[in-house]
Structure 1
Amino acid sequence: MMDETSTHFYVPVSHEQRERCLGPEGSAWHVGRVIKMIQSRWKLPILFRLYADPSIRTLQLKRDLPGVSQKMLTAHLREMARDGLIERVDFGEKPLRVEYQLSETGRQLLPVLIAARRFSTSHLPAADDSAKGV
């Protein structure tokens, strides 16, 4: 019998195998959940910015991500904090001083993102495919 992490290497045949891969708590569900956590125009740039600098203020993030609106940045930071990828540190000072940093969960995601980048760079589209918009 194969272990749980190897279910993606074959087409699930038995009901038990399908449940482990495709069921409500299966591999496909968990991978989809991670993708939803990082899916947006700005979440990956925020994460990579935080990988480069362990703690950063909102204003600096806004400067480093040209084109992001304050409303969108705030919404994404709240979602990422809710999902446990980052932590909001409120220093309780006046004027308000808040910084964001990666959580342990966010740091654990880095090898996954590096693997995704490695996969992407080794599977670049052919030159004529990119010209066609494929």
Structure 2
Amino acid sequence: MDEAITHLKVPIRFEERDVCLGPDGSVAHVTRVFRMLSGRWKLPILFRLFAEPSLRSSQLLRDIPGISQKMLTQHLRALEEDGLIEREDFGEQPPRVEYRLTEQGRDLMPVLMSVRLFSQRHPEGQEKQRR
């Protein structure tokens, strides 16, 4: 059976297949980023933190309809572990904690804005019309 050669269609200079498919290849890097963004609430959290320099979890809870405190906490922890946001605890009573995008999180935002632009240029339902 012939091996698929779709990796040759990726617009990068032609080199060994490891450039696309190896452990440090394009597929591995893109998969890692998709994993960082997977989860129902991660994108709303990131875009909200992109709009404001820093926010408390109570404000995020108010600004993101439908999210529970438990899910907000889980997603904030995951985003912090992945280095996309940072948590600042002011050590006050009552507790005051704020979240903000890290430099890595800010670097990701142009990519997400490009994905948004792609979606706007290719509305839902168009893919069925082309088939």
Q: TM-score, normalised by structure 2?
A: 0.85
Correspondence 1:105 to 2:104: yes
Q: Aligned pair in 2 of structure 1 residues 127, 30: CA closer, same or farther (>3 Å)?
A: closer
Stretches of 4+ aligned residues off by more than 3 angstroms: 125-130
Q: Which residue of 2 aligns with 1:82?
A: 81
Q: Aligned pair in 2 of structure 1 residues 37, 125: CA closer, same or farther (>3 Å)?
A: same
Q: TM-score, normalised by structure 1?
A: 0.83
Superposed CA RMSD: 2.2
Q: Which residue of 1 aligns with 2:119?
A: 120
Q: Aligned pair in 2 of structure 1 residues 128, 50: CA closer, same or farther (>3 Å)?
A: closer
What residue identity is the alignment partner of 1:66?
A: P
What residue identity is the alignment partner of 2:115?
A: A
Q: Distance in 2 between matches of 1:127 and 1:27?
A: 27
Q: Aligned pair in 2 of structure 1 residues 128, 109: CA closer, same or farther (>3 Å)?
A: closer
Q: 3-state SS of the aligned residue for 1:101?
A: strand
Q: 3-state SS of the aligned residue for 1:92?
A: coil
Q: Distance in 1 between matches of 2:43 and 2:105?
A: 11
Q: Distance in 2 between matches of 1:129 and 1:27?
A: 28
What residue identity is the alignment partner of 1:108?
A: D
What is the percent sequence identity of the aligned residues?
Answer: 57
Q: Which residue of 2 aligns with 1:33?
A: 32
Q: Which residue of 2 aligns with 1:9?
A: 11
Deviations 1:6-27 (A, max 9, x none): 98227x7xxx621110111100
Q: For structure 1, list consecutive stretches of 5 or more residues without a partner in the other structure.
A: 1-5
Q: Which residue of 2 aligns with 1:44?
A: 43
**For the Cα contact (< 8 Å) 1:7–1:21, is it kept in 2?**
no
TM superposition shift of 1:125: 3.2
Q: Distance in 1 between matches of 2:37 and 2:20?
A: 22
**For the Cα contact (< 8 Å) 1:7–1:17, is it kept in 2?**
no
Q: For structure 2, list consecutive stretches of 5 or more residues without a partner in the other structure.
A: 1-7
Q: Aligned pair in 2 of structure 1 residues 70, 17: CA closer, same or farther (>3 Å)?
A: same
TM superposition shift of 1:83: 0.3
